[in-house]
Amino acid sequence: MKGATAPIRTVAAATFRPRGGRYESVRVRRVPVRALRGGERGVAASFRVRAGAVEIAILARGELSPDELAWAMEAARGLAAVDDDPTEFLALARRSPLVAKLAAASDCRLDRTPTVFESFTCAVIEQLVTTFEAHASIRRLHRDAGALIEGTDHRAPPTASAVLAVPPWRLREIGIGVRRARTLREGARRAAALERLKAGDPAEAVEKLQSLPGVGPWTANLVAQNALAYADAVPVGDFHAPRVITQALTGEPGDDAAMLEALAPFRPHRARAARLVMRAAMVSGLSEVAPRRVPKVDPHRREPWKY
């Protein structure tokens, strides 16, 4: 880390032992230090997996109040998914030989982003475009609107106020089209209401999210899964998921209705089953699923700021 007059330091640490099957250390090894809040009073969490336990340290510049410390540790626990117990799902997974095999080989816990707005931002940017385009735009938005922890290279995800401060023309340059930018800014204006969704039922949160202009079932379910660890969120409306999941589970490709029918035996953990199948199909391929057609990305969409 870079030098600073008030260096970032460890202010709290705790060790957690996740329950319910194997825990993949890669989920925290990819990003061993995660900024939770940027700026002069920045806060971060560091992660290490040792002997099957997850060690979390909270790092901060200056002192944290008890409430701030509790918030930071809760956020870190959600990112590491140490509180998510998939034991019930592992029993349900035995209903499908394929899902049982994938569940035995993979960590099927659901992590949570520290804020609902962080998940909302990513889900909106991922609408209507390829994964490549979405991830590139998310990185640019983080670079433009995310705040560094002073004295470090760790950048926190953009806050709602920071996103609202980005002019619409710049969002277009970043690669977020007019339609998605409008939805993103509307969500930023209602950021407090988005955060209140944490206190309610996640199924109701899916319905409430769809009251926002530009938010349909796909976006709402994705936000609920990633921000609330909603284990029964289903990727309806996805470009690939209905075909891949139904073909993997039934032998025949299908639409949203067929996917819902195929996933029904895994209620209330359909998100876990869907995620396992999609991850396996995309990363290593499944013999049960025909190879997917990779969409072509035009040059002006790869580098929208040049056009």
- Kindly state the helix (H) or strand (E) to which residue 43 belongs, with its residue range: strand 43-50
Task: State yes or no: pLDDT of 306 exceeds 60.
Answer: no
pTM of this structure: 0.91
Write out pLDDT tens, residues 142-173. Answer: 999 999 999 999 999 999 999 999 999 999 99
Mean pLDDT of all residues belonging to the chain: 91
What digits encode the pLDDT tens for the residues 24-41?
988 888 899 999 999 999
pLDDT at 22 over 70: yes
Give strand pairing partners of 59.
10, 44
Query: Is the Cβ–Cβ distance between 260 and 236 less than 8 Å?
Result: yes
Q: Give the residue among 43, 79, 306, 38 at the shortest CA–CA distance from 172.
A: 306
* Position with higher pLDDT, 25 vs 182: 182
Question: Nearest Cα to 31, choosing from 150, 180, 153, 167?
Answer: 153
Q: At what angle do helices 256-263 and 270-283 cross, to 10 degrees?
A: 110
For residues 83 and 65, give the distance between their C-alpha atoms in angstroms, rounded to a whole number: 23
Helix (H, G, I), strand (E, B) or coil at 190: coil
How many whole angstroms separate alpha carbon 83 and alpha carbon 105?
20
Q: What is the pLDDT of residue 3?
A: 45
What pLDDT is recorded for position 27?
A: 87
What distance in Å separates the CA atoms of residue 16 and residue 190, rounded to the nearest whole number?
34
Residue 119: closest CA among 20, 21, 194, 24: 194
Indicate the SS3 state at residue 195.
Answer: helix
Q: Which two tokens stand for residue 238?
A: 């996805």
Angle between helices 270-283 and 241-250 (to 10 degrees): 100
3-class DSSP state of 85: coil
